[in-house]
Amino acid sequence: MPTRKGSAVWEGGLKSGKGNFRGEGGAISGAYSFGSRFEEGTGSNPEELLAAAEAACFSMALSGALEKNGTTPTRVESDAHCTVEKVGAGFKITTMKLVTRATVPGLDDATFQRIANEAKEGCPVSTALKGNVDIQLDAKLVS
């Protein structure tokens, strides 16, 4: 299996500095700052990257689990909301809330909920966060 790489450069102090990050493939990159991370400033931040990773990983894991069940989805759409909070003297990512809507012909809600929860527990990004971040799931079937 491949090892993926990302890089970042930070210049200056914590509050007055600025940074840039890039994924090795070049498809993701952006600028970030204290304001874009801990306030409402413009730019990106590590938490939105982590949220996107969780949403992408979970969507693929759910699709694969549904297909394995014999109920291949026509669409899985997931949003992830990553919360960072001040905890003690520092900051901590406390919560990752997944909101997913899936179109899965011929599947009942109880089975869907079971499979969605199993996918949440088994996706690689979720397992990396497990024990450190409260991962919540709001999963619904749509027509």
User: Per CATH, the architecture of 46-141 is what?
Assistant: 2-Layer Sandwich (3.30)
Amino acid, single-letter form, for residue 90: G
Task: Enumerate the domain spans of the chain.
Answer: 6-38, 46-141
How would you class 61 by CB atoms within 10 Å of its CB: exposed for 0-12, middle for 13-18, buried for 19 or more? buried
| The pair of three-digit structure tokens given for residue 9, joined into one six-digit string | 């450069």
CB atoms within 10 A of CB 138: 13
pLDDT per residue as tens, the chain (143 positions): 899 999 999 999 999 999 999 999 999 999 999 999 988 889 999 999 999 999 999 999 999 999 999 999 999 999 999 999 999 999 999 999 999 999 999 999 999 999 999 999 999 999 999 999 999 999 999 97
Structure pTM?
0.92
97 φ/ψ angles, rounded to the nearest 5 degrees: -105, 120
